[in-house]
Amino acid sequence: MTGAHPDDPHDPTSPDSGRRNGRRRGFLEHPENDLTADADFANRRRPEPHSPEELASSVDPAVQAARNTQSTRQAIQWLIAIPAVTFALALILGIIFRVMGGPACDAGQAAFLCTRDAQIWWSVITSIPPIVGVLGCAFIMNHKLKNYTRWRPWMGVFWVMIPFCMIWLITAGQILITALNS
């Protein structure tokens, strides 16, 4: 005996040499290759390589870590961009329809949407970005999941986009229903 503890995994004479918790140490358990963050524990794991060719053609862990970080940044950008585009589009269309004028603005009954057509078009056009935001987020999240990339930030964005879309559609829908009933 070399004086090492009998269960020491670093002792080459130990019966558990090269094993961690009773398993054989794999490619991704090497410290230089383990670039995962706490946010990556829910990612789908790539299939373990079974041959040197599969190992050589697998994704570099540094590249995968960069893709994961980029996925988080993209999700945050999506979260900011969709409401910003929605509000900007609503404001721009409101100003355009106000400049065009109409009987409701002349009578003092409305401030921005002066005609029935303006109310209809404003409601329909401004509802497009929130719907695209929810559906696009769902598609991107599924794509990231299937490609072994960090997808959880996209799930968070999805659950923020759903109430945003619902609130926007309820608001725009009320204007649309009022316009269609008059």
pLDDT of residue 6: 53
The answer to whether position 13 is within a domain reads no
pLDDT of residue 20: 47
The answer to whether position 25 is within a domain reads no
pLDDT of residue 63: 82
CA-CA distance, 143 to 140, in Å (whole number)? 5
Amino acid (1-letter code) at residue 12: P
pLDDT of residue 50: 75
pLDDT of residue 11: 52
The answer to whether position 146 is within a domain reads yes
Report, as ranges of residue numbers, the positions in the chain whose pLDDT lies below 70: 1-47
Number of domains in the chain: 1
CA-CA distance, 94 to 115, in Å (whole number)? 11
pLDDT of residue 94: 92
pLDDT per residue over 2-49, tens digit each?
555 555 555 555 544 444 444 444 545 555 555 566 556 556 666 677
The answer to whether position 111 is within a domain reads yes
pLDDT of residue 133: 97
The answer to whether position 30 is within a domain reads no
The answer to whether position 120 is within a domain reads yes
90 lies in which domain range? 61-181
**C-beta separation of 18 from 12 below 8 A:** no
